[in-house]
């Protein structure tokens, strides 16, 4: 999943009316779920794994999968058919026969033409690529759009975003280890060293979820790990979680400069919710790094936190500047497509089951605050104030829309 950018997004809160609909007995709808293949941004993931499809089918739902949708994640069509899915050659037929579409990335221009009136669309929104025209098209069709990056559990966490950030942090260190090797033009060093040879120095900028999982992985390799952040409480929490196996420091100019000079690897993991990632490492600092050292800017989708970073692709993932290898691929989890698909499926399938447990999507949104928080268009209305502000569009409160029966 291109890991979602949170630019322009703020935590939104609302009040439900005190009145609740009377429950007169359990009602259930049989969903017709369509899982198309992904065709943009070198996306290899698929939204639901075969085991997830099996769970949906076992609960009475119909699932159609586009032929070859799982190829990038090494899931064969036969695995999906054995789990109970129907394999369709035509993506237009898949959309036409489904009342709920679940995919990784948002529909592109061609796929928008396949959407049907009043369908439910569950996918990432990718704010950096979203346009008013895209949102208007969904509203014109009466589509209910639920975005991965908005789904918020009652404890305030963003489960899908967190899952992808865990993968990004772990992958960043794996990638850095590979590019340190001589065959890739690196310094020819191991992260962990061996007896009599000291380990590499890994500097992680940011103590959030990406930084935490980068630190965990680097410790597992045996590296010497330094984590910098401007939030002292985040550093304190990280030291506690990792049993003080990392060195932490405030992200001041002096500490950053000292860490960069000695670094074999820098992992960019500093995020600022609702804003561009802050630039912590200047080009001058990069110029002071060792020849053949590695930068992995894991937050390039939010602009990156190293001044010399610029977006790269899976097909051309690195470039050199000041003789430092830069890896800046925005959609990192796509390169661990199978793991990422299982992670997505683990989170998404329970939400889909919740939708199927009631008679309609508006009933599901009424009962499930996480799904409601993830909804950005509903019944021809934009329902995210943050999106309305970003694009200068009107919006309606979703709780009031559901309560009024609009």
**pLDDT attached to residue 276:** 81
pLDDT of 302: 86
**pLDDT on residue 406:** 61
Determine the pLDDT at residue 129.
Answer: 76
Q: Up-side HSE of residue 363: CA atoms within 13 Å toward CB?
A: 14
Rounded to an integer, what distance in angstroms lies between the CA atom of residue 273 and that of residue 2? 17
Residues with catalytic roles:
126, 301
In the chain the domains, ranked by start, together with CATH numbers, are 32-157+336-404 (3.40.50.720), 166-335 (3.40.50.720)
- The span from the CA of 57 to the CA of 65, in Å, is 12
Q: pLDDT at position 39, please?
A: 87
CA distance 23 to 67: 40
Beta-bridge partner residues of 201? 224
Helix axes 159-179, 337-356, angle to 10 degrees: 180
Mean pLDDT for back-to-back runs of 10 residues, the chain (406 residues): 39 38 57 94 92 97 97 97 97 96 93 94 86 94 94 90 95 97 95 93 97 97 97 95 94 96 97 80 97 96 93 94 96 94 96 91 92 93 90 91 78
């Amino acid at each position: 999943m291109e890991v979602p950018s949170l630019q322009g997004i703020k935590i939104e809160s609302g009040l439900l009316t005190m009145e609740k609909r009377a429950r007169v007995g359990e009602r259930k709808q049989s969903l017709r779920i369509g899982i198309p293949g992904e065709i943009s941004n070198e996306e290899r993931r698929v939204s639901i794994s075969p085991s997830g499809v099996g769970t949906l089918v076992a609960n009475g739902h119909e699932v159609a999968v586009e032929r070859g949708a799982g190829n990038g994640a090494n899931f064969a069509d036969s695995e999906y058919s054995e789990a109970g899915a129907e394999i369709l050659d035509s993506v237009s037929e898949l959309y036409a026969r489904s009342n709920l579409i679940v995919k990784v990335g948002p529909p592109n221009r061609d796929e928008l033409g396949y959407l049907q009136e009043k369908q439910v669309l569950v996918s990432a929104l990718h704010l950096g690529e979203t346009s008013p025209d895209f949102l208007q098209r969904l509203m014109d069709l009466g589509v209910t759009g639920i975005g991965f990056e908005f789904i918020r559990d009652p404890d305030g966490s963003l489960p899908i975003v967190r899952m992808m950030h865990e993968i990004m942090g772990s992958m960043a260190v794996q990638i850095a280890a590979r590019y340190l090797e001589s065959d890739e033009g690196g310094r020819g060093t191991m992260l962990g060293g061996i007896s009599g040879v000291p380990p590499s120095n890994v500097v992680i900028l940011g103590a959030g979820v990406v930084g935490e999982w980068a630190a965990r992985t680097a410790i597992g390799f045996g590296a010497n790990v330094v984590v910098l952040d401007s939030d002292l409480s985040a550093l304190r929490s990280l030291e506690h979680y990792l049993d003080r196996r990392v060195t932490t420091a405030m992200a001041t100019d002096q500490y950053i400069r000292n860490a960069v000079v000695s670094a074999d690897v820098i992992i960019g993991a500093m995020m600022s919710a609702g804003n561009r990632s802050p630039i912590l490492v200047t080009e001058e600092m990069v110029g002071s790094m060792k020849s053949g050292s590695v930068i992995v800017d894991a937050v390039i989708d939010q602009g990156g936190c190293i001044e010399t970073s610029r977006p790269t692709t899976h097909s051309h993932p690195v470039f050199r500047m000041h003789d430092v290898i830069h890896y800046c691929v925005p959609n990192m989890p796509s390169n661990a497509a199978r793991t990422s698909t299982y992670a997505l499926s683990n989170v998404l399938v329970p939400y889909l089951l919740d939708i199927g447990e009631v008679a309609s999507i508006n009933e599901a949104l009424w009962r499930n605050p996480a799904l409601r928080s993830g909804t950005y268009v509903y019944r021809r209305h934009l329902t995210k104030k943050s999106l309305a502000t970003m694009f200068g569009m009107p919006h309606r409160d979703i709780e009031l829309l559901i309560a009024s029966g609009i």
